[in-house]
């Protein structure tokens, strides 16, 4: 950095340029510096080698064709099982939908029976005693059933 003095009137001063010469220092122990450089370079190469080897092992395990093929086979087996389960479920739902009207009819009958029993007038009461019909049995195979008003002959 140069310093420019303030200008004055009158005689000007000449500026002197100073030059400095820099001489590199001479190395005292070049053998020690060489060994340090060799140690640093070899350790860097070792670290690079180990990182590349680790990277290759990771990539090799990720890109193993046999493991990828095995995983694809597992996925296809799982998809096949899902398809079979879906088909089985679909057939069961179809069968249930076919049986549903029958079940609804049975439920309607049971509801009607329950309503009849609740009313008590039209349902069968096991405590009431009904008169048994007279039945005449003949030895030749003919028999008569006598009811209150009619007589039936059955073979």
Can you give the pLDDT at residue 16?
Answer: 59
Task: For the chain, 155 residues long, give each residue's pLDDT as a single digit of tens.
Answer: 565 666 666 655 655 566 666 666 665 678 888 888 899 999 999 999 999 888 888 777 666 777 778 888 999 999 999 999 999 999 999 998 888 888 898 999 999 888 877 776 655 666 666 676 676 666 565 555 555 555 555 44
Supply the pTM of this predicted model.
Answer: 0.34
Can you give the pLDDT at residue 21?
Answer: 67
Ranges assigned E (strand) in 7-133:
none
Ranges assigned E (strand) in the chain:
134-137, 143-146, 151-154
Domain ranges of the chain: 32-63, 65-120
Can you give the pLDDT at residue 121?
Answer: 61
Can you give the pLDDT at residue 39?
Answer: 92
Q: Which residues pair with 144 in a beta bridge?
A: 136, 153
Can you give the pLDDT at residue 79?
Answer: 92
Can you give the pLDDT at residue 87?
Answer: 92
Please check whether residue 140 is in contact with residue 153, taking contact to mean a CB–CB distance below 8 angstroms.
no
């Amino acid at each position: 950095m140069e310093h420019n003095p303030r200008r004055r009137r009158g005689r000007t001063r000449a500026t002197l340029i100073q030059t400095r010469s820099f001489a590199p220092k001479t190395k005292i122990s070049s053998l020690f510096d060489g060994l340090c450089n060799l140690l640093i370079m070899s350790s860097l190469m070792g670290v690079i080698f180990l990182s590349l080897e680790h990277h290759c092992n990771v990539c090799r395990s990720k890109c193993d064709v046999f493991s990828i093929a095995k995983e694809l086979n597992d996925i296809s087996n799982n998809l096949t099982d899902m398809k079979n389960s879906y088909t089985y479920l679909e057939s069961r739902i179809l069968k249930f939908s076919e049986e549903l009207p029958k079940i609804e009819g049975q439920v309607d009958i049971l509801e009607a029976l329950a309503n009849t029993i609740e009313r008590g007038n039209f349902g069968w009461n096991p405590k009431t005693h009904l008169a048994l019909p007279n039945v005449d049995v003949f030895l030749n195979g003919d028999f008569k059933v006598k009811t209150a008003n009619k007589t039936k002959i059955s073979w």
